[in-house]
Amino acid sequence: MQNDADRITTASAGATTRLSYMDAIVEAQMEELTRDPRVIMMGEDLAVYGDGKIVENFDGMRIWSTPISETAFTGVGVGAAMTGLRPIIALSISSFMYLAADPIINQAAKLRYMTGGQATVPIVFRCSMYYGRSIAAQHSDRPYPMFMNVPGLKILCPSTPADMKGLLKSAIRDDDPVLIFEDAKLWPMKGDVPSDPDWLVPIGKADIKREGDDITIVAISGAVRQALDAAERLADIGISAEVIDPRTLKPLDLDTIVRSVRRTGRLLLAELAHRCVNVSSEIAATVAEDLFGQMRAPIRRLGVPDVHIPFSPALESALYPTAATIAAAAQALCRHPADAAPRT
């Protein structure tokens, strides 16, 4: 079945507006609520987490401010999607997705398959990844790797305002359930965002944020900023780093990553989720399978140790990859950059 997003020809970028990451989220939702009367929004504390403008501009038939019962209102959203609406479910803090896991995994992800394609579930689940704010173990998880193991879900992790707006709009127009994870540290970040309401970022396409020849750095969500800062530091010592942002984690654009690593011969992965069974693990395994014997250095992964996130600011801040640790790891993989000719 053709997705609603596929029926719209992606407009050229054209004119842009400078928006914060949070403003890009709000603008994407405002535009889609205005464009399509089937789009509704429901969730808890909508006005608290940046959606006050939406609450003010749409009535109670389109915007449902729900009780704090994630399992219940997520299930309502799945049912609404099956009847022809296109819900946006705002789950606020990403750790709350555990409570909504049953309707997401057992219903939204499986119903198209279990009905032989007779039912579609065009629904978007939004959540914010909070960390580095001393909000302790029950509010600091980045659970997107867990959901990658579920067939039937599409998973997005945009790192810029433009990518957030374009991918969120594509998600709302998609006929499958989509999980979109926002890094709350990116909310104030500003960037140029295309103004055309039909401008979309395609789901399943990675973006090369910086080109380079000596090493490929793949960074996820909030780690992209640190990777780009690290690339600047590496350039100062003669190392040319290519930085790739997958943007979509499922489906994952492995072709773009493999092509880059085939050329550079080195791969460093950085993300802010726990290191055990994360996105980096999947990418590393695929690259090792496809490029066995062609690598110039071992694949290196940087992530969070397999511990619960502590309340202590000093202890928590030491857990995450930084520009300095990414640059140091890349430098270790490129010990003699002047002697390494690019692979073709």
* Residue that finishes a domain, picked among 194, 229, 255: 194
C-alpha 113/C-alpha 311 separation (Å) is: 42
DSSP 62: T
Q: Domain check: are 212 and 177 in the same one?
A: no
Tell whether the model's pLDDT for residue 2 goes beyond 50.
no
CB 40 within 8 A of CB 80: yes
- Residue 344 maps to a domain: no
- Residue 66 maps to a domain: yes
Q: Domain check: are 128 and 233 in the same one?
A: no
Segment among 6-20, 85-99, 154-168, 240-254 with least mean pLDDT = 6-20
- Residue 201 maps to a domain: no
CATH number at residue 32: 3.40.50.970
* Residue that finishes a domain, picked among 194, 222, 237: 194
On whether the pTM is more than 0.85, the answer is yes
Q: Domain check: are 143 and 213 in the same one?
A: no
Res 13: pLDDT? 58
Res 140: pLDDT? 82
- Catalytic machinery residues: 139
Tell whether the model's pLDDT for residue 281 goes beyond 90.
yes
- Residue 142 maps to a domain: yes
Kindly report, residue by residue over 174-213, the tens digit of the pLDDT: 999 999 999 999 999 999 999 999 999 999 999 999 999 9
Q: Domain check: are 324 and 183 in the same one?
A: no
* Residue that finishes a domain, picked among 144, 172, 194: 194
C-alpha 149/C-alpha 120 separation (Å) is: 20
Kindly report, residue by residue over 78-106, the tens digit of the pLDDT: 999 999 999 999 998 888 899 999 999 99
CATH number at residue 216: 3.40.50.920
Percent of the chain whose pLDDT exceeds 70: 92
Q: How many domains does the chain have?
A: 2
Tell whether the model's pLDDT for residue 258 goes beyond 70.
yes
Res 33: pLDDT? 95
Q: Domain check: are 106 and 130 in the same one?
A: yes
Q: Which residues contact 104 (CB under 8 A, 6 or more apart)?
A: 74, 78, 97, 125, 147, 150, 153, 177, 179
- Residue 200 maps to a domain: no
Half-sphere exposure of 24 (CA within 13 A, CB side): 32
Tell whether the model's pLDDT for residue 159 goes beyond 80.
yes
Full domain range(s) for residue 223: 207-334
Greatest pairwise CA separation for the chain in angstroms: 65
Bridge-based pairing state of the strands 300-304 and 124-129? unpaired
